[in-house]
Amino acid sequence: MRVTDDLFDIPVIMGAMRKFITLLCFAFCLSSSVACAAVKLVNHFSGVTGDVLKNVEARLAINEKDAGQLTVSEIKMLYKRAPREIDAAVQPFGYFRAKVRSRLAYSNGQWVATYNIHLGRPLHITSVDVKLSGESLRDHKFRKYMAAFPLRRGDVFLASKYKSAKKRLFDLAATRGYLAARMVKSQVQIDLKRYTCAIIWRFDSGPRYSFGNVYFGKTPLSEQFLRKFLTFKTGEYYSEHKLQKTTQHYNDSDLFYSVVASPDYKSAKNLHVPIHFHLMPRWSKQYAIGAGFGTDTGPRGMLGFTMRNFNKTGHRLSLVLKGSMKDLNFEGHYLIPGGNPATDLWDISAVTQYQDLKPGKSYTIKAGPAYITQIWGWKQTAGLHLQREWYKPEGSNKTSSSTLLIPSIGWLRSKGNDHIRPTRGYRINIQLQGAVQGALSNSSFFQPRIDAKTLFTLSNRLMFVLRGTLGTTQGNNLNSLPLTLRFTAGGAQSVRGYGYQGIGPGDELAVASSELRFRVYKQWYAAGFFDVGNASDSLTSKFHQGAGVGVVWLSPLGAIELTWGWALNSPNSPWRIQFSMGPEL
């Protein structure tokens, strides 16, 4: 037999193979380029809303925002995974029998993934078996917790509620001093066939620990003084809350740069935990300088000096010089911590002040002590100051003088949802002061005053701000009172559109303000306001009104507001631009 090559022309075959390979490579490259092109994706969901929808969108790997970085093949692969991801996303809300119907289509230049989710019946808790052991069995706080246990039979099983209940139990243990607490058994038994849910916990609190000896690092302050800040005593049951409160007291004292409390659990003996406080004192000398501009007073400046640690009991000295073209103020304060140095403080002050404002010119010297403390959540300041003032009212050529011994007391309370940028909260400041003729005073008077402010949000973008002031002066020969004790109104923090202290002076004061803010971008707001008020010898006279618009920035330093206001009772007055800066509350 002979074999021939007539049917197998090698050059022809090789040429055909080259063409086939070329076409195959071209097709592969074409398909790859199409598959690798950036595509647009839109997801549509039905059957879920609210938090369930948000969780589904967050858990889904096939995400609209990443579509431009995905190829068509990747989108198809992730689309196949989507039903499993959706099923996992709805389970924390108690839906364990969800069914998902999905469809992926290319239409009008974009891919559209549609998911129709049928959640089905939520899973309910069918049994709760929680048992405690250890010393917590005799603790009334744990008995109270168990009586109001948040997971109950018949409730829908929610993963967030389950985790929260467990966290609260461990937080309670830490707060009450059960430092060795552990969960011996923690199970959620879910039977999908019977559609039941059983919760089983075995919680062992262990023994209850107590505070041991307290140790302080090296500081210029005496240990006896440092112990006055403690909110606990050696031998008391350990409490995380009391330890944090003590740390906060040190931080609020203005004596320390940093405070770290370190319970030494490993060295605990007889269930007593030693506590180590690492206190880093602030610099013994501190200088401050500042500059600014006020639309009511012009350029402003400030110089400050603080000297701490005069002795081992935390005495300190503070000197401040501040002023503008229209006023100059120098204050000296010698501060002595009180019986509870975290809240109590003696303030022995001396103040000199010069003012050249619309009510007139005045020069004042004032000195005396004040005691600051906390009572039922209010900051109380009680003082006794001797004041000597020389003053010349506007339009008068006569300079008068006044000497008054003024006892005073005030209460301040402030609360907000954020210390720096509150969106809701309030501030109330009540002041009472007076003098008695003959008791180192040339006249008698009694002067109560209350200032209040509140702010709250009406929606995600709208904020409403209300503030008001009421004051009155009672006594004989009120015309002899110096200018600093007469009421005035007007200015960026009073009736806007009028100059600073441009209304008054008088013996009666009433101011009310309303402001609506609209959030434009992040912490920037557009504002509209209406103010009304008066300072005169009788509030039956016509009230002054101001209205306008402004821009507010809730900065890290407080609210910075630039307003454009018009004095409505002075039709010939131009619009007035006013600027203010300071904490909201």
Inside any domain, residue 20: no
pLDDT at 65: 60
Q: Are residues 320 and 387 in the same domain?
A: yes
- Is position 79 within any domain? yes
321 in a domain, yes or no?
A: yes
In this structure, the answer to whether residues 240 and 329 fall within a common structural domain is no
Residue 35, domain member (yes or no)? no
Are residues 395 and 499 located together in one domain of the fold? yes
Instruction: Identify the three-state secondary structure at position 500.
Output: coil
Of 252, 281, 310, the residue that ends a domain is: 281
Q: Last residue of some domain: 151, 182, 204?
A: 204
Q: DSSP state, 156?
A: B
Which of 281, 313, 330 corresponds to the end of one domain? 281
Name the domain count of the chain: 4
Rounded CA separation 203/131 (Å): 6
Dihedral Cα 100, 106, 107, 113, nearest 10 deg: 20
522 close to 461: Cβ distance less than 8 angstroms: no
Q: Is residue 187 domain-resident?
A: yes
Are 96 and 170 found together in one domain? no
Q: Distance (Å, rounded) from C-alpha 122 to C-alpha 126?
A: 12
- Residues with Cβ within 8 Å of 149's Cβ and at least 6 positions away in sequence, in order, are 128, 130, 165
CATH number of the domain that residue 355 is part of = 2.40.160.50
> Do 217 and 175 sit in the same domain of this protein?
no
Assess whether the previous peptide bond of 505 is cis (omega < 30° from 0): yes
The HSE-up count of residue 557 (CA atoms within 13 Å, CB side) is 5
Query: Residue 380 sits in which domain range?
Result: 285-582
Looking at residue 296, its pLDDT comes to 66
Asked if residue 261 and residue 290 are part of one domain, the reply reads no
**Is 376 buried (19+), middle (13-18) or exposed (0-12) by CB count in 10 A?**
exposed
Together in a domain, 422 and 547: yes
Per-residue pLDDT of the chain (585 residues; tens, 9 = 90+): 333 333 333 333 344 444 444 444 434 443 433 334 456 788 889 999 999 999 998 888 877 666 566 778 888 888 899 999 999 999 999 999 999 999 999 888 788 889 999 999 999 999 999 999 999 999 999 999 999 999 999 999 999 999 999 999 999 998 899 989 999 999 999 999 999 999 999 999 999 999 999 999 888 899 999 999 999 999 999 998 899 999 999 998 888 888 999 999 888 899 999 999 999 988 888 899 988 776 667 788 999 999 988 889 999 999 999 988 888 999 999 999 998 898 899 999 999 999 988 888 999 999 999 999 999 989 999 999 999 999 998 888 889 999 999 999 999 999 998 888 888 999 999 999 999 999 999 999 999 999 999 999 988 899 999 999 999 999 877 778 899 999 999 988 899 999 888 888 889 999 999 999 999 998 999 999 999 999 998 877 789 999 999 999 998 888 899 999 999 987 777 788 988 888 888
Residue 291 lies in a domain: yes
Q: Is residue 22 part of a domain?
A: no
Are 114 and 217 part of one and the same domain? no
- Strand 345-357, strand 327-337: pairing: antiparallel
In a domain, 25, yes or no: no
**Model pLDDT, residue 513:** 96
- Indicate the pTM of the whole model: 0.73
Rg (CA), the chain: 37
Residues with Cβ < 8 Å from 292, sequence gap 6 or more? Answer: 299, 300, 301, 581
On whether the CB atoms of residues 166 and 128 are closer than 8 A, the answer is: no
392: Cβ contacts below 8 Å, ≥ 6 apart: 360, 361, 362, 398, 399, 400
Three-state DSSP at 104 gives strand
CA atoms within 13 A on the CB side of 138: 5
- Looking at the structure, tell me whether residues 69 and 174 fall in a common domain: no
The CATH number covering residue 223 comes to: 3.10.20.310
Checking DSSP bridges between strand 182-191 and strand 544-555, what pairing results, if any?
unpaired
Q: Do 449 and 461 fall into the same domain? A: yes
Q: Using CA atoms, how far apart are residues 13 and 168, in angstroms rounded to an integer?
A: 79
Nearest Cα residue to 114 out of 105, 126, 122:
105
Integer distance in angstroms from the first to the last C-alpha of the chain? 110
- Tokens 């303000």 found at: 513
238/192 same-domain check:
no
Torsion sign (Cα): 82, 84, 85, 91: positive
Whether residues 376 and 256 share a domain: the answer is no
Reported in sequence order, the residue ranges of 248-359 that DSSP labels E, i.e. its strands, are: 256-263, 272-281, 285-294, 298-307, 316-324, 327-337, 345-357
CB 402 within 8 A of CB 388: yes
